[in-house]
Amino acid sequence: MKIYISADMEGVNGVVLKEHVDPAAREYQPARQWMTAEVNAAIAGAVAAGATEVVVNDSHSNMANLLVDQLHPKAQLVSGPGKPFSMVQDLDDSCAGAFFTGYHASFGTPQAIHDHIYAYSLIESIHVNGQQVGELGLNAGMAGAYGVPTLLVTGDKALAGEARALMPWVRAVAVKEGRGRLCARCYPFQETLKAIREEAEQAVRNRKKAKALIFKAPLVLEVRFPKVEMADAAALLPGAERIETKVLRYETAAYPELYRAFLALFRLARSVF
Ligand SMILES: [Zn+2]
């Protein structure tokens, strides 16, 4: 039984500063340890529930944050930038369930640490089939397209609320409560590791009760950019339709294509950031 983990960093316990998630900063080094500890707790829970294979996709920034030599011996690590499927690389229908750890709430959420979608000040909102989603919804939708249920989500309290609203079956572990974008009340670190381990184990044991997040075809992606010039650049994508000054629409029958369209729109917009 294979469990898939997409591991982000902003939602890790203790992470509050921009420097915590910036590989060039001194404060980043301990934050990598915290991130690795949380992922290990999730893996340990999955293994205790019978997982024989765990694929961890490092999903933050340059995607080479997790410390491979400290990672649980059962895990394989997908690491490094430029992955064609980014935060969901190597996720496919051979996985029995998906975890999203260290995730953060969608852009515009109050009292949420580092609320953003892919990049702060670059994407204002994403809708799939008219429903607003953040990184969690976009990535869980990709799992759902492969029939893979989302079992566990970890991050701050706002993210846990976002997860439960989108996927009522999901086990969500809050490790801290945002007091603003860059400040939080962090729960006791060892206790949150224990909670992640226990919830991961229960999530895998009860995986038959969980569901895949399915967006039905035809799939309609709408991306709103904060600036007109970003939408100008994104509009170069063939098939993208400009439905408002700052909103691009893309329609497709297949979720992996929607995901790639999103990445293409994002990278085009980033070129003028
Ligand atoms: Zn991140």
Pure H helices in 89-185: 135-145, 157-166
Average pLDDT, the chain: 97
Q: How far is the CA of 135 from the centre of ligand 1 (A)?
A: 9
pLDDT at 177 over 90: yes
Query: Ion ligand 1 — residues with CB under 5 Å?
Result: 8-10, 60
Among residues 20, 60, 104, 114, which one is catalytic?
114
Fill in the amino acid letter for 227.
Answer: K
If one counts every other C-beta atom within 10 angstroms of the C-beta of residue 204, the result is 25
> How far away, in angstroms, is 148 Cα from ligand 1 center?
22
> What's the rounded mean pLDDT across residues 164-184?
97
Pairing of strands 171-178, 184-186: antiparallel
Q: What is the pLDDT of residues 82-132, one digit of tens each?
A: 999 999 999 999 999 999 999 999 988 999 999 888 887 899 999 999 999
As a whole number, mean pLDDT of residues 143-166 equals 98
Q: Is the pTM of this model over 0.95?
A: yes
Specify whether the CB–CB gap between 42 and 65 falls below 8 A.
no
**2-117+134-209 maps to which CATH number?**
3.40.50.10780
| Phi, psi (rounded to 5 degrees) for 107 | -55, 135
- Report yes or no: 6 and 43 within 8 Å, Cβ to Cβ: no
Helix %, strand %, coil % of the chain (to 5): 35, 25, 40
Q: Are strands 247-252 and 241-244 parallel, antiparallel or unpaired?
A: antiparallel
Cα 10 to ligand 1 centroid, rounded to whole Å: 5
Q: Is 127 a catalytic residue?
A: no
Distance CA 4, CA 49 (A): 14
The predicted-structure confidence for 185-206, as pLDDT tens digits, reads as follows 999 999 999 999 999 999 999 9
Cα gap 33→205, rounded to integer Å:
28
Domain boundaries, the chain: 2-117+134-209, 219-270
Q: Is the pLDDT of residue 40 over 90?
A: yes
- CATH architecture assigned to 219-270: 2-Layer Sandwich (3.30)
Residue-wise pLDDT for 11-23, tens only, equals 999 999 999 999 9
pLDDT recorded at residue 118: 86
